[in-house]
Amino acid sequence: MSDSDPLTKLLGQIVSDVFGETAALVATDIASFTVKTFSQILSSTSLSIKEVRAALGVLIQHRLVSFSDTAKPGKVDYLIQTENILSFLRYPRFLYLVKTAHGDEAELMVEEIIKSGSETATNILFRTAKRLHESQEVPAQPPNISDLNSQLVSLISNSLIERSEQLGQNTAATAVLCPNLVENKLLLNTPVDVDEKAISTAVMTKCETVEPGNDQDVLWRLNMKKCEQMVRDQMIVAAAGRRVDKQAGLVVQSLLRIVERQADATVSAQFSHQAISDQVAADHGKDSLAHIYLDQYLRVLGDDRTRFVDRVGDSGGGQYHVDLKHIITDMVEGCLDCIILEKFSSKAVRIFRYIREKRFVEEGQLQQVVMIPAKETKMLTYQLLENHFIHLQELRKSVAPTAPSKAFYLYYVDLPQAVRTCVSVCYKAVYNCRSRAKFEAVEHSRLLDKHERIETIAASLKASGGTEEQLEEVAEMMTPPEKEAVKKIHAKLDKLSEAQSQADETLSVLRLYLDYNSMA
């Protein structure tokens, strides 16, 4: 296990945290080979058939493993879905995004979907309503199911939630080992009718489950792509806001909305000035500064080094498009610069940027331009080289290998390679943070358990109407230094989880860049 690469270890860790050891074993096993058959899993994990089957069932339900038998009909291959496992790290951020965009109830609904992988609409509504009902202090009116339903519908129409694949038709009459899942593109975002009354009564009577309705066959799941797109857009808008000013950020937001409506590509299709103008007016109002100075903002955004928008034609008052690949490349370069800044020093950043600009640089020339003492330049350059941020290219002057001929050694930056190194560091960082959090929890488990017990006792006392004295007694069960220690531990764990999500942020930007690079 210790020999596996950082990604496999991280995947294993995430799965074990959420689903337990067995599932983690199976997941790691498949991940180390990417694709495996059932018998291979059995032999390499030496678990029983029942266990493997149960683990696979859970993993498939949550779409962390997918199956297909196209490679060898009759034998089913199980593939690991790395992206989906890593998205576990991002759920907190997504939930926050959904909350800000659509409200608290929508957040609860999305949470329910995440918890169960994929669910029918009836179940989603039922469970959300139940939670809302229970969390209310005084049992009042049950939550309005039709309101919830309309929220669900709006989530669907924004494609945050989409229909899962459905069972396709079997072509042959013979029994098929592997079910055929078909994605229904047309119905991806059309909502189903739910029996609102039935749900409502179920909630009122505090049932555990609700009667399955007409929409039994239709399962809904979270659209990860859309969530990541939302995060990406947020980042780009923030960057534009920093570069120019806030109003420019709003203009870029409208531009990205237009791009969203088009097909997915690294460079968007062209759209006219009129379309931009309408969108900005719709989003921010005709009186906003963004609208008044729209032409100027478009000019400034286009002239900027990052080229947030490009003018590609003059017909119709100006044709524009957005080159997403270029924007992301620029952001990734900025990200790498920040990492080098923190890891080494600002002089190293200067050297790195210079080599990146000029593509191929000789050592002597470097020192002249960056104005850093020669010794320091050399040391920093070699440090960057060791950490794979820059590479060395050799140009021999003569072909004969025997003579000690002078060869030119040039430094250059291979951006995809440097990004891949950073991605691997990110995986390690996230793994280490989680590892450390677990370790801290285990070390102080006695204290934390005590704290939890006291909290539950106090809560139950309150609920059943205990007196002030009783509450005080309970509170005194923990001494002040212990309380302090518990607070400290909580702060540490918070810090670790924050660091984890920040490392994950960087990871998502870097991975986005690698995806775009391989796409185009």
Partner 1 sequence: MAAPAPMKMETDSESVESQIIELVTSFPQGVADKVLIANMPYVDPKARAQAINKLLVEEKIDLFKSSEGLLYRLKSPSKAATISGDQEEKIVFRIVESSGNLGSWIRDIRAKSNLGQTQLNKVLKSLEGKRLIKAVKSVNATKKKVYMLYNLEPDHSVTGGAWYSDQDFESEFVEILNQQCYRFLYHKLETSRDGSAGPIAAKNSSMVSTKDVAKFITDLGISKVALKEKDIEAILNTIVYDGKAEKCEGGESGSLYRAVEPLLPSAGLARCPCGVCPVIRRCGDKGNIKPDTCNYFRDWLEEF
| Closest residue by Cα to residue 378 from 366, 387, 396, 388 | 366
Binding mask 141-180 for partner 1 (x = CB under 8 A): ----------------------------------------
| Closest residue by Cα to residue 60 from 10, 11, 14, 23 | 23
Shortest separation between residue 267's beta carbon and partner 1, angstroms: 19
Please give the single-letter amino acid code of residue 483: K
Is 359 a binder of partner 1 (CB under 8 A)?
A: no
Is 342 a binder of partner 1 (CB under 8 A)?
A: yes
User: What does the block give as tokens for 194?
Assistant: 């739910």
Q: Which of 357, 468, 469, 472 binds partner 1 (CB under 8 A)?
A: 357
| Closest residue by Cα to residue 308 from 371, 241, 227, 382 | 241
Shortest separation between residue 395's beta carbon and partner 1, angstroms: 21
Q: Which of 182, 269, 369, 520 binds partner 1 (CB under 8 A)?
A: 369
Is 505 a binder of partner 1 (CB under 8 A)?
A: yes
475 vs 468: CA distance, rounded Å:
11
Give 261 or 495: the residue with its C-beta nearer to partner 1.
Answer: 495
Is 504 a binder of partner 1 (CB under 8 A)?
A: yes
Indicate the helix (H) or strand (E) that contains 18. Answer: helix 6-19
Is 370 a binder of partner 1 (CB under 8 A)?
A: yes
Count of beta carbons in the 10 Å neighbourhood of residue 477: 13
364 vs 138: CA distance, rounded Å:
77
Asked if 37 and 75 count as a contact pair (C-beta separation under 8 A), the reply is yes
Give 213 or 249: the residue with its C-beta nearer to partner 1.
Answer: 249
Is 406 a binder of partner 1 (CB under 8 A)?
A: no
User: What does the block give as tokens for 278?
Assistant: 């309408």
**3-class state of residue 269 by DSSP:** coil
169 vs 274: CA distance, rounded Å:
47
Instruction: Select from 110-118, 132-140, 161-169, 300-308 the region that touches partner 1 (CB under 8 A).
Output: 300-308
Shortest separation between residue 109's beta carbon and partner 1, angstroms: 28
Shortest separation between residue 341's beta carbon and partner 1, angstroms: 8
- Name the DSSP class of 286: T
Binding mask 76-105 for partner 1 (x = CB under 8 A): ------------------------------
Instruction: Select from 84-92, 162-170, 235-243, 406-414 the region that touches partner 1 (CB under 8 A).
Output: 235-243
Is 183 a binder of partner 1 (CB under 8 A)?
A: no
Query: What stretches of 97-216 adopt beta strand conformation (E)?
Result: 119-120, 161-163, 166-167, 181-182
Binding mask 321-340 for partner 1 (x = CB under 8 A): ---------xx--xxxxxx-
Strand partners, 80: 65
Q: Which of 429, 448, 474, 486 binds partner 1 (CB under 8 A)?
A: 429
- What are the counts of helices (DSSP H) followed by strands (DSSP E) for the chain? 23, 14
Give 220 or 297: the residue with its C-beta nearer to partner 1.
Answer: 297
How many alpha carbons lie under 13 Å from residue 305 in its C-beta half-sphere? 8
Residue located via tokens 């930056």? 413
Q: By CB under 8 A, how many residues form the interface with partner 1?
A: 68
Q: Which of 125, 433, 448, 478 binds partner 1 (CB under 8 A)?
A: 433
Q: Which of 220, 320, 431, 516 binds partner 1 (CB under 8 A)?
A: 431
406 vs 396: CA distance, rounded Å:
7
Is 411 a binder of partner 1 (CB under 8 A)?
A: no
Give 123 or 506: the residue with its C-beta nearer to partner 1.
Answer: 506
Residues between 280 and 299 with contacts to partner 1, criterion CB under 8 A: 293, 296-297, 299
Give 251 or 474: the residue with its C-beta nearer to partner 1.
Answer: 251
| 3-state helix vs strand vs coil in the chain, percent to 5 | 65, 10, 25
Please give the single-letter amino acid code of residue 517: N
Instruction: Select from 69-77, 135-143, 203-211, 370-378 the region that touches partner 1 (CB under 8 A).
Output: 370-378
User: What does the block give as tokens for 65?
Assistant: 């493993």
Give 313 or 373: the residue with its C-beta nearer to partner 1.
Answer: 373
Binding mask 483-502 for partner 1 (x = CB under 8 A): --------xx--xx--xxxx
Q: Which of 121, 200, 506, 512 binds partner 1 (CB under 8 A)?
A: 506
Instruction: Select from 31-39, 86-94, 162-170, 237-245 the region that touches partner 1 (CB under 8 A).
Output: 237-245
Give 245 or 264: the residue with its C-beta nearer to partner 1.
Answer: 245
User: What does the block give as tokens for 168?
Assistant: 């396709």
User: What does the block give as tokens for 176?
Assistant: 């098929």
DSSP string, 491-507: HHHHHHHHHHHHHHHHH
**3-class state of residue 376 by DSSP:** helix
Asked if 118 and 221 count as a contact pair (C-beta separation under 8 A), the reply is yes
Shortest separation between residue 307's beta carbon and partner 1, angstroms: 12
Is 385 a binder of partner 1 (CB under 8 A)?
A: no
DSSP string, 456-483: HHHHHHHHTT--HHHHHHHHTTS-HHHH
Is 425 a binder of partner 1 (CB under 8 A)?
A: yes
Asked if 181 and 168 count as a contact pair (C-beta separation under 8 A), the reply is yes
Q: Which residues form the interface with partner 1 (CB under 8 A)?
A: 1-2, 9, 239, 242-245, 247-248, 293, 296-297, 299-300, 303, 305-306, 330-331, 334-339, 341-343, 346, 349-350, 353-354, 357, 364, 369-374, 376, 422, 425-426, 428-429, 431-433, 435-436, 439-440, 491-492, 495-496, 499-507
